């Protein structure tokens, strides 16, 4: 197996999955004060297009899809009504640009997918499982630590917060958390996740959780041998939080069994619609992208002439 997806690989296909809302937010906050000739905000649109281009160039996928949140999972809301409740509403200036971003994806012939009442994380997990079962490689572009549980010999992460732009495999997950990818659900269940409003075991931080999982291997084994936990304070906290930890396992485990109404074959990367892209770039006032589109068209024309023996 290759150490990362840039190595020689027997896999015929590689799927890039982009966490849509995460990158839209990132683009929105990375660029300020950009607007179209008519005054509409375009900072998220431009930033998203640039980021997506870099991801495709970095991952070199044969297939790609941008996955969007379709709402909170009802089963998680039933377990924890305050799940993600602390998150502020999406800024209006970003929300108004989402339809334009999807218009760009249509013009670029880049697959875009959202499923009602399905969190993007679960759809991404389901697509990842489908691709791996088909013998494909997968690169997930997101900073969400939940995706570390999906890392395997065929699945890597591209974390936009990592300035090295390295592909994250099991080694990077271990360096970041102290545990194996297969232990990530248990690790998160112990430490909690403030981003999702999930409380952890009081007094059990990332290092203590990693130490426990290295000692016992899993939460199930830890509770079976709870008397062997050395620190009385930690042992008491774990005993008192057993129900919370079991609930957390259900909350943080990505649901790869989620039915996903999209087939892998339709995710193949295809040439974009140059005329549709030209119209969008003109409307948004993206002169640099217009120039690059024209340069790419000219380059493709010269290549065609050369192959045809015209040059």
What's the structural domain count of the chain? 2
Residues 275, 198 share a domain: no
Mean pLDDT calculated for residue range 293-304: 68
Q: Are the C-beta atoms of residues 174 and 180 closer than 8 Å to each other?
A: yes
In a domain, 89, yes or no: yes
Rounded Cα–Cα distance for residues 243 and 46 (Å): 46
DSSP state of 202: T
pLDDT in tens, 73-126: 778 878 877 777 777 889 999 999 999 999 999 999 999 999 887 889 999 999
124 contacts: CB under 8 Å, gap ≥ 6 = 17, 19, 67, 140, 142, 147, 150, 254
pLDDT of residue 305: 45
| pLDDT tens-digit readout, 55-77 | 999 999 999 999 999 877 778 87
Q: Can you give the residue range of the structural domain that contains 279?
A: 14-177+255-291
- Is residue 1 in a domain? no
Entry pTM: 0.91
49 with 188, same domain: the answer is no
Q: Are residues 30 and 162 in the same domain?
A: yes
- The percent of residues in the chain predicted with pLDDT above 90, rounded, is 76
Please tell me the predicted confidence (pLDDT) of residue 87.
79
Distance between start and end Cα atoms, the chain: 42
pLDDT of 292 higher than 80: yes
- The confidence score (pLDDT) of residue 4 equals 63
Residue 141's φ and ψ, nearest 5 degrees, are -100, 105
pLDDT recorded at residue 76: 81
Q: Is 245 a member of any domain?
A: yes
Strands of 43-161, DSSP E: 63-68, 111-114, 137-141, 155-158
């Amino acid at each position: 197996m290759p150490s990362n997806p840039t190595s020689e690989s027997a896999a015929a296909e590689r799927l890039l999955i982009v966490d849509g809302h995460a990158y839209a937010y990132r683009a929105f906050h990375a660029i300020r004060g950009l607007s179209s000739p008519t005054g509409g905000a375009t900072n998220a649109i431009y930033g998203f297009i640039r980021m997506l281009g870099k991801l495709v160039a970095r991952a070199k996928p044969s297939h790609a899809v941008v996955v969007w949140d379709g709402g909170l999972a009802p089963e998680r809301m039933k377990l924890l009504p305050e799940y993600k409740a602390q998150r502020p509403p999406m800024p209006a200036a970003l929300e108004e640009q989402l339809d334009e971003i999807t218009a760009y994806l249509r013009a670029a012939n880049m697959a875009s997918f959202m499923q009602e009442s399905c969190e993007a994380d679960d759809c991404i997990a389901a697509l990842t499982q489908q691709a791996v079962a088909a013998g494909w490689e997968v690169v997930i572009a997101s900073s969400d630590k939940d995706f570390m549980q999906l890392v395997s010999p065929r699945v890597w992460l591209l974390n936009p917060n990592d300035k090295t732009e390295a592909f994250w495999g099991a080694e990077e997950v271990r360096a970041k958390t102290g545990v194996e990818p297969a232990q990530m659900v248990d690790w998160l269940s112990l430490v909690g996740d403030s981003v999702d409003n999930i409380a952890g075991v009081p007094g059990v931080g990332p290092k203590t959780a990693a130490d426990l999982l290295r000692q016992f291997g899993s939460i199930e084994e830890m509770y079976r041998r709870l008397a062997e936990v050395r620190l009385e304070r930690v042992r008491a906290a774990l005993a008192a939080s057993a129900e919370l930890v079991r609930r957390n396992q259900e909350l943080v485990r990505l649901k790869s069994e989620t039915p996903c109404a999209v087939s892998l074959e339709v995710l193949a990367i295809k040439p974009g619609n140059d005329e549709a892209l030209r119209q969008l770039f003109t409307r948004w006032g993206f002169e640099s992208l217009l120039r690059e589109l024209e340069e790419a068209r000219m380059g493709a024309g010269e290549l065609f002439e050369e192959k045809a023996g015209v040059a």
